[in-house]
Amino acid sequence: MKFLAHFYVVIATIFLILVAALVFYNAPYNIVFYTVLVGQAWWLFTVYKVLTDKYSTNKDFDDWYEDHPVGKE
Quote the pLDDT of residue 14: 95
Burial class of 71 by CB neighbour count within 10 A (0 to 12, 13 to 18, 19+): exposed
Return the SS3 of 23.
Answer: helix
73 closest CA partner among 2, 64, 35: 64
User: Does residue 52 have a pLDDT over 70?
Assistant: yes
User: Does residue 48 have a pLDDT over 80?
Assistant: yes
Cα distance between residue 38 and residue 28, in whole Å: 16
Quote the pLDDT of residue 58: 77
- For the chain, give the percent of residues with pLDDT over 70: 77
- pLDDT tens digit string along 19-42? 999 999 999 999 999 999 999 999
User: pTM higher than 0.85 for the full model?
Assistant: no
